[in-house]
Structure 1
């Protein structure tokens, strides 16, 4: 795939190795100047209907009621495809929210969550990502770990230490160091293709990056999302560092959420499908005015999301 693919009569259907096929002019610019597709709440396709409710807090005491868990799951699933399929589709940034289950007999076993816990544990998922990264050494992956639900004061240091140690050991020489100021070319030359962003102080580890800012609209209203993100891109976006422009929809935290969750034949995925085409049109228009870096979305395998974001890199060629 090349950025001139739009001119070809044959439609591009695979973005499995799109970074390695970018024009040479983009190989030496910082990765935070590239347009990179990402997924929001990347593991939410795997939510376990039999788990207890993690959030929202007001529903946690109702965890034993199946229909309540079913409603939470219906409005918490933001992705429909596995991480491997998201990778194959061209997604290169992953929003991974970590949690420990209360009363788990394994003191260091961790899961992902969004409303409910996932079925897949953290170590199993990262081993899958490591295997994919080894098969695609010229594709740069950005793994953003955050939230760390259930890390109480008594166990927090142990859990963070175990998780960071596992990541450093698992990815090893594939990890891109913080001091590297990475470009595609520098990553390829060093044989490194994984960035781990960690929303917790890890100053002693050169292989672990600090939190990547994630800007989003915090609303279900696409017009308000566009307005807020436009302001951020024009006024507040970081310079010379990664940043995420999140197109994701967010349910209200007050009684207004009932307007959505009490719809018997609707769910979050359907609402996203109705709004995503408009948000993608806005991204294309906005990117012509202000540079974007990581663009994260729900349902990343729908509505040409990946293709739209990757093709924004053509704008970076015209600016050089």
Structure 2
């Protein structure tokens, strides 16, 4: 079941409610709930198909777009509702539409473009951050589809400038090793991770590694993540353990997307309880930092991750 409004509210300020002994440790040693493909609830059925490649040529066919939408939506709630539910890491995939008359207008994407543009969504996030100064948000911007060579540098400069102007004094600097206490003391509560080699300022963080199983099989996802976590050195920087299921890029994708009465959210609902049991078991052996998932407002995902910070409570 989707969380009720009361359950959402109970995790709206969870960072400020952590026990005092956790206030001084680096944020990369906290367990933080995150959402995978955070904006996919907003996909536009009238958009052209961006992926998979095998279906791009079918963009003019409504049924093809509908199939892509069914298997590209990974989140059910708006970004504000995800924030209210306790999510603090957001996977934001950026794209520019070809032939857009506005040269710097950007959208999010996952199979299709979103209806809402990037600046509008980031303004909503900024408003939420301003109203919750003790909650630390991590925004991971990546992919940058449609950033053609002749305009890419200009688009990156424009987007980074917008981010720095919008969030301003809320931005946590890269030279810091942030903890809750240090962020609260400086009045900063937004980290922006930018997955591109463009020149970064002290306010923009580089890519945060995102580890995932690259499979639709939960056993395989668990096995790959376990291998990564057990090989990793002690956590000294941010990292993401992605519980998300991934459709194959080969022709095998048709085995899933041509199912008439199924969709990705349905598959995830059935798989997430098992994955969360694995998280609880694995966290006792290896530390986890950001744990990201699809359908983050279901199955007690947020509460499960937050409880990793204080398992004996």
Partner of 1:138: 134
The one-character-per-residue Cα deviations of 1:67-95 (angstroms, maximum 9, x if unpaired) are 00000000000000000000000000000
Matched, 1:69 2:65: yes
Mapped partners of 1:160, 1:75: distance in 2: 29
Matched, 1:279 2:290: no
Partner of 1:86: 82
Q: After superposing the two structures, state which structure 1 stretch, 229-238 or 254-263, moved more.
A: 229-238
Q: TM-score, normalised by structure 2?
A: 0.96
Partner of 1:112: 108
Residue 239 of structure 1: how far off its partner (Å): 3.2
Runs of 4+ in 1 over 3 A off after TM superposition: 10-13
Structure 1: give runs of 5+ residues left out of the alignment: 1-9
CA contact 1:98–1:149 (8 Å) conserved in 2: yes
Residue 19 of structure 1: how far off its partner (Å): 0.1
CA contact 1:247–1:297 (8 Å) conserved in 2: yes
Residue 236 of structure 1: how far off its partner (Å): 2.9
Matched, 1:267 2:263: yes
The one-character-per-residue Cα deviations of 1:236-295 (angstroms, maximum 9, x if unpaired) are 367310000000000011121122111111000000001000000000000000000000
Matched, 1:127 2:150: no
CA contact 2:245–2:268 (8 Å) conserved in 1: yes
The one-character-per-residue Cα deviations of 1:24-48 (angstroms, maximum 9, x if unpaired) are 0000000000000000000000000
Q: After superposing the two structures, state which structure 1 stretch, 32-41 or 48-57, moved more.
A: 48-57
Partner of 1:194: 190
Mapped partners of 1:237, 1:112: distance in 2: 33
Q: TM-score, normalised by structure 1?
A: 0.94
- Pick one of 218, 221, 235 that aligns with 2:217: 221
Q: After superposing the two structures, state which structure 1 stretch, 66-75 or 53-62, moved more.
A: 53-62
Partner of 2:45: 49
The one-character-per-residue Cα deviations of 1:166-207 (angstroms, maximum 9, x if unpaired) are 000000000000011100000000000000000012444000
Q: How does 1:172-191 map to 2 (within 5 A)?
A: 172-191=168-187
Partner of 1:3: none
**Which secondary structure state, in structure 2, belongs to the residue aligned with residue 313 of structure 1?**
coil
**Which secondary structure state, in structure 1, belongs to the residue aligned with residue 169 of structure 2?**
helix
Matched, 1:102 2:98: yes
Matched, 1:293 2:289: yes
Partner of 2:152: 156
**Which secondary structure state, in structure 1, belongs to the residue aligned with residue 191 of structure 2?**
strand
Mapped partners of 1:190, 1:13: distance in 2: 26
**Which secondary structure state, in structure 2, belongs to the residue aligned with residue 142 of structure 1?**
strand
Residue 153 of structure 1: how far off its partner (Å): 0.5
CA contact 2:235–2:287 (8 Å) conserved in 1: no
Aligned residues: 308
